[in-house]
Amino acid sequence: MSLDNYLYLSAILFTIGAVGVVVRRNAIVVFMCIELMLNAANLSLVTFSRINGTLDGQVVAFFTMVVAACEVVVGLAIIVTIYRSRRSASIDDASLLKR
Amino acid sequence: MATNNGLVYLIALPLFGALALLLLGRKADKWGHLLATAMSAGSFAVGLIQLSQMLDREAELRPVTQKLFTWISVGSFNVDASLLLDQLSICFVLLITGVGTLIHIYSISYMSHDKDRRRFFAYLNLFIAAMLLLVLGDSYLNLYVGWEGVGLASYLLIGFWNQKPAYATASKKAFVMNRIGDMGLSFAIMIAFASLGTVSFSGVKEEAEFASEATMTAIGIMLLVAAVGKSAQFPLQAWLGDAMAGPTPVSALIHAATMVTAGVYLIVRSNFVFDAAPTAQLLVVIVGAITLLFGAIIGMAKDDIKKALAASTMSQIGYMILASGLGPAGYAFAIMHLLTHGFFKAGMFLGAGSVMHGMNDEVNMRKYGGLRKFMPITFVTFGLGYLAIIGVPPFAGFYSKDMIIETALNAGGAKGIILGSVTLLGAAITAFYMTRVMILTFTSPKRWDDNQHPHESPALMWVPMVILSIGSVISGYLLYRGKAFKHWLEPLFEEHGEHTELLPPIVVSGLALTMVAIGVAIAVIKYQLSEIDNVAPEKVSIFTRIARRDLLQDDVNEALFMRPGQALTSALVKIDDSVVDGAVRGVGKMALGSGSALRETQTGFVRSYAVLILIGAAALIAAIWVVTT
């Protein structure tokens, strides 16, 4: 099986994530879509590592996971706090900075 | 050239006096005038010692210098702050400090009721110091410092009573008009530096032989502009009449005897420039001839005693400038007339001050009359000055003015005849207006109110007047005798052969005396033998009216310079407002406008930002792809 297919899969996953971020309003879903995009990136990193026969891509993938973990912690905390104060998880409601 | 370390004391003494009086403030009120007078007298004493030392030396060894410090040292360009005392500057040093000291003494009494007397004396000392620096500087740059210093002192003293707006305006007018002349001097220095590479008198003198005539003409014309401004010559003469706003001793010292003659000094000092630039020299003569008549005509119409004397000063300096434009033949006579004029005009101004002192500061001569009986000493001293200025032998003005007339006549060709007739005509007009002043003030019937109580001034005032009047009697003969003064100054100038004589000297003197007699006779008929009104008559010819308005000098200046200047500045203000400020405001408006336009894109919705980021990232990748493939 050609390694290209992994890249196609990665692209599809990334696109799904990006579309999800743009079209969905629920903060939790948007958040999950961001995770999907990160993992799509990880997949392509690992694939490139395989294609090039080096470990660089895999190392970066680990870094991405760490960043993603941190991001989850901070992001979920923000979402929970917003939900507590506003009783809503819709990201369109949190548009107060405009005014 | 020999050095002499005593020169600095000439300047240091009055400078110390000025600084002490200004810095100590009210503490010095009680004795300030005494210190200032002592400093001026001390400077005079130093000057006398220098003169006696100078007389002991041979003619070539007479000039002495003193280097104070290195002022500017840039590459090959060096200017030292050094002083030069030669046959020419010693005349000025003695005139400035001598007349200056007398006027200090006079002012002790004249200003005794003024609560700012100390400040007055501080300025007087400042003036003496600056004027000495002017005549002692050994380069144009050193001279320039003194030149500005006397301008400052003149400004401060004209506006001494600046609580009166008219006086403050007069001082500002003098300062601004002098600035035009100062600009000329600075241009002359710049041209000398740029084309000759030196600004010292000796350096310029050496370079003058090799420099092109165009350069010398440019320097000469700029020096003439400077002289015209400082000496109130046509066309920068308008400030002198208004400068009479200052206290009378100031008019005597600064605006008659010394500062206004600085222009003559400058031209005579720069004789090597003018000898090498005939065009500039011709301009000097023309300026002198115009001013000579200009001042004399104004003098005929003035009823204010100080303004009449100021017009006369302008006219007499016209004589000096004219003489200094006649080349080596005239330099000595220009300076000689300057010295005798210093005596008699300062004496007459002090006399005018004495009259004003006795007449409650009235200056209108039509409100005087018959003061001969009440102020005998003032009458006699003023009368001696009067005889000197109109040129009656053997008084001082006769010798000096006669010499100038003679030199003008001998200038050769049409030039000589024109200049000769101008100077002769000037002599007649001088005789007329000075006789008028004499008659209106002293010998005509009294025209003052009964609440006036004219009285003779105290001794502190009349003693200086007496000394100056003695000077105006004998100084002319002393300087003339055996051509003493001409020989004294001769080593400084380069004589060019013998001059032709148009008329023998005795005929010239006769002509001059005839003109004087005509002038006196007309004045006597017009004023002594007929009624004089105590207000100026209204029904007078257009010429008298123009002369009363100072020959329209202010109207011309206003029409030609002030109004266009105002129009120019208001146009500039408008341009500044619309173009410069408009550009600045436009930049601000643009930033504001683009900001509020861009603000519309900030919706506050996270998802729209995400879309933008996505589009941006895609565009970036596309761009990289396009570039790399």
pLDDT digit string (tens) for B445-479? Answer: 888 887 888 888 888 888 999 999 998 888 888 88
User: Rounded to an integer, what distance in angstroms lies between the CA atom of residue B184 and that of residue B162?
Assistant: 28
Model confidence pLDDT, tens digit, residues B228-262: 999 989 888 888 888 888 888 998 888 888 899 99
B50-54 mean pLDDT = 89
- Check whether A99 has a pLDDT greater than 60: no
Per-residue pLDDT at B38: 93
Chain A nearest C-alpha distance from B625 (Å): 17
Interface touch A21/B604, C-beta < 8 Å: no
Close Cβ partners of B443 (under 8 Å, ≥ 6 residues apart):
B370, B372, B528
B406-412 mean pLDDT = 84
**H-state helical runs in B57-159:** 87-110, 117-136, 140-158
User: Rounded to an integer, what distance in angstroms lies between the CA atom of residue B240 and that of residue B99?
Assistant: 20
Q: Which one, of B189, B424, B171, B393, lies nearest residue B292 by Cα?
A: B424
Model confidence pLDDT, tens digit, residues B560-572: 888 999 999 999 9
DSSP β-ladder status, B77-85 and B64-74? antiparallel
Angle at B178 between CA B173 and CA B184, to 5 degrees: 145
Cα dist from B74 to B46, B79, B197, whole Å: 34, 9, 12
Residues linked to residue B137 through DSSP beta bridges, in sequence order: B83
Per-residue pLDDT at B78: 81
Residue of A95, A96, A97, A99 for testing the chain B interface, max B β-carbons within 10 Å? A95
- Check whether B534 has a pLDDT greater than 90: no
Cα dist from B1 to B63, B84, B93, B133, B407, whole Å: 7, 10, 19, 19, 32
Q: Of how many residues is chain A composed?
A: 99
Model confidence pLDDT, tens digit, residues B77-129: 788 888 999 888 999 999 999 999 999 999 998 888 888 889 999 999 999 99
DSSP B211: S
User: Rounded to an integer, what distance in angstroms lies between the CA atom of residue B325 and that of residue B273?
Assistant: 11
Residue of A28, A92, A93, A99 for testing the chain B interface, max B β-carbons within 10 Å? A92
User: Rounded to an integer, what distance in angstroms lies between the CA atom of residue B186 and that of residue B174?
Assistant: 18
Interface touch B604/A22, C-beta < 8 Å: no
CATH classification of A1-84, choosing from 3.20.20.70, 1.10.10.10, 2.60.120.380, 1.10.287.3510? 1.10.287.3510
Interface touch A96/B610, C-beta < 8 Å: no
Model confidence pLDDT, tens digit, residues A1-10: 788 899 999 9
Q: Which one, of B171, B109, B159, B566, lies nearest residue B353 by Cα?
A: B109
What residues of chain B lie within 8 A of the CB of A18, using their CB?
A: 614
B494-514 mean pLDDT = 77
For B213-227, b/e burial (b = at least 16 CB within 10 A) is eebbbbbbbbbbbbb
pLDDT-based confidence at B605, cuts 50/70/90? confident
Nearest-by-Cβ selection for B606 from A18, A23, A91:
A91
| Residues 40-59 of chain A whose Cβ lies under 8 A from any Cβ of chain B | none
Q: Which one, of B294, B226, B312, B207, lies nearest residue B266 by Cα?
A: B226
Model confidence pLDDT, tens digit, residues B475-501: 888 888 878 888 888 888 876 655 667
Peptide bond into B376 cis (omega under 30): no
User: Rounded to an integer, what distance in angstroms lies between the CA atom of residue B190 and that of residue B198?
Assistant: 10
| Residue A98 backbone phi and psi in degrees, to 5 | -60, -40
DSSP B364: B
Per-residue pLDDT at B414: 84
User: Rounded to an integer, what distance in angstroms lies between the CA atom of residue B315 and that of residue B292?
Assistant: 4
Interface touch A91/B607, C-beta < 8 Å: yes
pLDDT-based confidence at B425, cuts 50/70/90? very high
Cα dist from B262 to B139, B143, B245, B619, whole Å: 15, 10, 21, 80
Among chain A residues, CA nearest to B602? A98
DSSP β-ladder status, B2-3 and B64-74? parallel
* Three-class DSSP labels, B458-484: CHHHHHHHHHHHHHHHHHHHHHHHHHH
Structure tokens at B601: 């894109």
A40 touches A17 (CB < 8 A): yes
Helix (H) or strand (E) holding B79: strand B77-85
